[in-house]
Amino acid sequence: MFKKILIANRGEIACRVIRTARAMGIATVAVYSDADARSPHVMLADESVRLGPAPAAESYLKAELILLAARETGADAIHPGYGFLSERESFARACAEAGIAFIGPPPNAIAAMGDKIESKKLAKDAGVNVVPGFLGEIADTEHAVRIAGEIGYPVMMKASAGGGGKGMRLAWSEADVREGFEATKREGLASFGDDRVFIEKFIQDPRHIEIQVLGDQHGKVLYLGERECSVQRRHQKVVEEAPSPFVTPAMRRAMGEQAVALARAVGYYSAGTVELIVSGADPTGESFYFLEMNTRLQVEHPVTEEITGLDLVEQMIRVAAGEPLSFEQDDVRLNGWSVETRVYAEDPYRGFLPSIGRLVRYQAPEPVADEAGRVRVDDGVAEGGEVSMFYDPMIAKLVTWAPTREGAIDAQVAALDGFRIEGPGTNLDFLSALMQHPRFRDGALTTGFIAEEYPEGFHGAPAEPELLRILAAVAAFVATAEADRARRIDGQLGRRLPPPGEWQVRIGGEDRHVVVDTDAVTVDGVGVELEMEYTPGDRIVTVEAPEALTIRLARTRGGWRLSTRGAAHEVRVVPGHAGALTRHMIEKVAPDLSRFLIAPMPGLLVRLDVGEGDRVEAGQALAVVEAMKMENILRAAKSGTVKAVSARTGDSLAVDAVILELE
């Protein structure tokens, strides 16, 4: 067994690998960029080595620096995690040449599966179902248009070396191909150094289901069930679960056997994932097709661990050390249900724009582990740390397990409310809304779920009238406690007045009359069952009303923002005697910004299609901003003439920076 492992990664996956290695009695080495010098993975490891500046291209993607760090620290193995160098054949070969074990598959398997075009050819030869498409070289946009027409719309354009949702465009028409083909090539080149693109038929009502495989160096390859990964946004997974509510035992066996056949065909060992696209319109489950094989550990691997009881990182380490798998296919049992949600630094109320900055507060829900259910948080951040523009904006992964799917989902809702994150915006409300959505709970999922259910964007989960009554009561209770503390401050003029007990609370567009006294709370004259403790300064409270609620509180001008059950509710609270006067207050009208083209996120202006004096039409593409290596097309909100241009191609833009003005 290895004595020391270097983790060629950062964040939560680095912490994840370190914890397992420590449990196995193996020493660990962390590597870091300047942006991560004080990150948790650096503090958790036994040793650490600086790689270089913050950009990944100058640190985590420098294979020679990582190998040098391994030699200098005496590490006899390297775990690549996911992303960065994890699927780079040249890195795996360099490890072998340096006499350092690569904790992953052999280089030839990475090469075979890393090229999406060649991998589909191999899959077809191995007897695996593949999606109809064109796998050859595509010369230019005109060639792409001809191919798409022959396949039949809709089609998907994908960067051959792509992954993680980057370098993908869906085309419903010739116009979409003409607009998106070159962008797909650029994204592939920027993210993966390869601008080749292939085109395939887009499966309608598709479900994204993947099979976890695990093999050793002695020829044994097993499948560990499936994961449902259909809930995606811009081709990036948001929610994963295992098993899938769509997959029957017969489907699982057929998918698993094909995945194993593909792994055997390329001499695969270690952990890997075969991704499939499945037609949700075919209840037989026979319409499943190979998408790609990820020759690494997946972000969503914890849900498989929760239902199988296996530690996949431990298995990868043991396989890399030459040990045979200690179990057979018949020993793999799927127990209960597990759901994972990805907590991102992004603002769902502003179109999911990336949100970077310092984590002023970070508190995760307490872990739970018993027979009734489990709550697990995999993270790699700490309070006071920073969500950097240089890396993926994921803050944490929340994983729950329960004997039933409904139980695992309910545990997600409760645990999501238990996060306290201040600083960058987060998608906590959105994740909670997904967990409560009737269609999600029914398991009627497709990869278009989010686009179909939130076509106008996300504005918070709908709240039942009873929940609004409870929140009004909570806001009044909190206001009473705050007023009581204020009256006790020493040195005030006059006698101490009792705190107000009568309030006007505005929530959900309605004013409610709330009375708080020593033994009851009433809302509009009706009693509310409410048990809670609040000390001024608390930012999370637990309420029994009578169902348990966890509520995050944030002070606002004139009231509070109460966040729970998938929505943030702006609540105005004023003493009852002042409530009648609020109707005389002038409402502030937001300025009209429609004549400006504004950067919706921090990013790089990579293209500007118009200049001063040009006439533009509503919906016309005006500029392209790159953020997190994704290109975002900015369009005109209305017709007009360009009055002034405030930015140039190549400029780094701050959020809300003005790019141009129309008249």
Active site members: 292
Q: Which helix (H) or strand (E) holds 188?
A: helix 174-192
How far apart CA 425 and CA 568 sit, in angstroms, is: 12
Residues with Cβ within 8 Å of 201's Cβ and at least 6 positions away in sequence, in order, are 131, 132, 133, 151, 152, 154, 155, 156
Token output for 236: 């990036």
How far apart CA 225 and CA 256 sit, in angstroms, is: 7
CA-CA-CA-CA torsion sign (301, 303, 305, 311): positive
First to last CA, the chain: 70
How far apart CA 62 and CA 415 sit, in angstroms, is: 38
Q: Please, are residues 634 and 624 in contact by the beta-carbon 8 Å criterion?
A: yes
Q: Please, are residues 220 and 316 in contact by the beta-carbon 8 Å criterion?
A: no
How far apart CA 336 and CA 324 sit, in angstroms, is: 27
> What is the CB neighbour count within 10 angstroms for residue 35?
19
| DSSP code for 329 | G
How far apart CA 216 and CA 39 sit, in angstroms, is: 33
Token output for 263: 């792994």
> What is the CB neighbour count within 10 angstroms for residue 199?
26
Look at residue 348 and give its three-state secondary structure: helix
Q: Please, are residues 553 and 539 in contact by the beta-carbon 8 Å criterion?
A: yes
| DSSP code for 424 | S
Could you give the dihedral angle defined by the CA atoms of residues 638, 643, 648 and 652, in that order, rounded to the nearest 10 degrees?
-60
Q: Please, are residues 230 and 449 in contact by the beta-carbon 8 Å criterion?
A: yes
Token output for 507: 């929530």
Q: Which helix (H) or strand (E) holds 141?
A: helix 141-151
What's the Rg (C-alpha) of the chain? 27
CA angle at residue 148 from 146 to 150, to 5 degrees? 70
How far apart CA 40 and CA 31 sit, in angstroms, is: 12
How far apart CA 559 and CA 229 sit, in angstroms, is: 39
Which residue in the block uniquely carries the two structure tokens 């809702």? 413
How far apart CA 268 and CA 383 sit, in angstroms, is: 40
Q: Pick from 528, 559, 557, 555: which is nearest to 543 by CA?
A: 528
Token output for 205: 């009502």
Which residue in the block uniquely carries the two structure tokens 């990582």? 66
Residue 526 burial (C-beta neighbours within 10 Å; 0-12, 13-18, 19+): exposed
**How does 372-409 read in b/e, with b if 16+ C-beta sit within 10 Å?**
ebbbbbbbbbeeebbbbbbbbbbbbbbbbbbeebebbb
